């Protein structure tokens, strides 16, 4: 059984690349998570997980991460990605990810609504929402990524 993570942070980044993969790699580097291995997880923040901005993760670590990404090869297109964490007073939290061809302001607005809806569906009281978002105007091949790495 895997241990339950105790820390988390929100991050986002964007990049151009000559290929989709190098654009994605550059966006991860821009977000500060390009030298770890992401283990994609769904959307639940463990109870009492501590927000730890600036947390340094060991190179090559296997890191549970909720993330959204968009890659686009349409020059001039505006792309964005966002993550949001909603926390409750006495229980677990909810993580949402979103990426789209729109502005940073639009993904921030949409993702906040998604968190509010997810708490309403669970009949939980929402204490706080944290959001990280990024936008990028594509030149050749662009990528945006937004993530919530979880750590022990």
Q: Which of the residues 43, 80, 118, 132 is marked catalytic?
A: 43
C-alpha to C-alpha distance for 150 and 39, rounded to whole angstroms? 10
125 is known as an active-site residue: no
12 is known as an active-site residue: no
37 is known as an active-site residue: yes
Q: Contact at 8 Å (CB) between 12 and 82? A: yes
Contacts of 118 (CB under 8 A, 6+ apart): 43, 86, 94, 96
Q: Which of the residues 37, 50, 73, 105 is marked catalytic?
A: 37
42 is known as an active-site residue: yes
Half-sphere exposure of 58 (CA within 13 A, CB side): 5
Q: Which of the residues 12, 80, 97, 118 is marked catalytic?
A: 97
Residues classed as catalytic: 37, 42-43, 97
């Amino acid at each position: 059984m895997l241990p339950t993570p105790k820390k988390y942070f929100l991050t986002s980044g964007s990049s151009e690349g000559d290929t989709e993969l190098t654009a994605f790699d550059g966006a991860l580097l821009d977000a500060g998570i390009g030298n770890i291995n992401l283990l994609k997880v769904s959307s639940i923040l463990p109870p009492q997980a501590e927000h730890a901005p600036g947390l340094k993760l060991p190179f090559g670590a296997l890191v549970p991460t909720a993330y959204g990404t968009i890659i686009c090869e349409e020059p001039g297109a505006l792309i964005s990605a966002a993550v949001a964490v909603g926390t409750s007073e006495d229980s677990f939290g909810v993580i949402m990810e979103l990426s789209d061809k729109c502005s940073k302001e639009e993904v921030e607005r949409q993702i906040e609504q998604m968190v509010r809806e997810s708490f309403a569906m669970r009949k939980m009281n929402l204490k706080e929402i944290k959001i990280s978002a990024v936008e990028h105007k594509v030149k050749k091949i662009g990528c945006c990524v937004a993530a919530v790495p979880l750590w022990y």
